[in-house]
Amino acid sequence: MASIFTKIIRGEIPCYKIHEDELTISFLALDQVNLGHTLVVPKQEVNHWFDVPEKDYLAVQLNAQKIAKAIQKATNCPRIGTLVAGFEVPHYHLHLIPAWSIPDLDFKRAKKHSEQEMKDIQQKILSFLK
């Protein structure tokens, strides 16, 4: 059965897309640890990060760098934390989380935001991604 991320990649489920290329897709997490929390996902569905083919893994990392810079500008945070957990979806994904301190990376802080807030931060990040 396809992961929820594969369904997003196929266009079966909508998302707040930040970036897409032939190997990866990036979109806002539905439950935001901090507003701007973005996932970078290889299009190939692989459960564990250490099993991702090298070219796909490198594409995730290179895109994460570009996107993190845009998130940092959009949120005015001093750091973008990265995390790979993989418990909630069995499809490797890299979390990019705007942070002002270590507690800002706690997933217990995650919450849904209004559609307008999500669209606003999406547009702000996109404006800095160009």
Residues catalogued as catalytic: 93
Q: Which residue has the tokens 């929390």?
A: 37
User: In sequence order, what DSSP letters do the residues of 24-79 get, joined into one string?
Assistant: EEEEE-SSBSSTT-EEEEESS--SSGGGS-HHHHHHHHHHHHHHHHHHHHHHT-SE
